[in-house]
């Protein structure tokens, strides 16, 4: 997701067209909602779901694991599967699995 700025340096923002989930790589790799109101858990921190092995507090080797999974660059990618992920979680799944290739990211059907 690219942020554009006007001549004064103020970010140009637009409402999101639909609920989505953000896949983020910075301090770990995690999913978070773009929904409003925000899902605040502490102070101004949003709830995030870390990828297995990529939690910067819980996993000593999170940096190496994150780099192996998604590379070394920080990013935020909008995923259009908010409803699908909610259905997977509501269906009792303990995890949401994403498959990465060099060209794409896709959501996997939960194993039964």
Residue 45 inside a domain? The answer is: yes
**What pTM was computed for the model?**
0.75
Residue 103 inside a domain? The answer is: yes
* Owning domain of residue 60: 20-107
Residue 15 inside a domain? The answer is: no
Residue 90 inside a domain? The answer is: yes
Q: How far, in Å, CA of 92 to CA of 94, rounded? A: 6
Residue 3 inside a domain? The answer is: no
pLDDT of 34-92, one tens digit each? 877 777 888 888 889 999 999 999 999 999 999 999 999 999 888 888 888 888 889 99
CB 49 within 8 A of CB 30: yes
């Amino acid at each position: 997701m690219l942020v554009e700025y006007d001549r004064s340096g103020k970010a140009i923002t637009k409402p999101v067209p639909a609920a989505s989930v953000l896949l983020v790589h910075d301090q770990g790799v995690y999913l978070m909602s773009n929904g409003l109101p925000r899902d605040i858990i502490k102070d101004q921190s949003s709830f995030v779901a870390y990828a297995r092995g990529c939690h910067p507090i819980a996993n000593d080797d999170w940096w190496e694991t994150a780099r192996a999974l998604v590379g070394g660059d920080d990013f935020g990618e909008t995923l259009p599967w908010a409803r699908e992920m909610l259905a997977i979680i509501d269906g009792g799944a303990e995890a949401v699995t994403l498959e990465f290739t060099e060209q794409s990211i896709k959501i996997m059907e939960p194993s039964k």
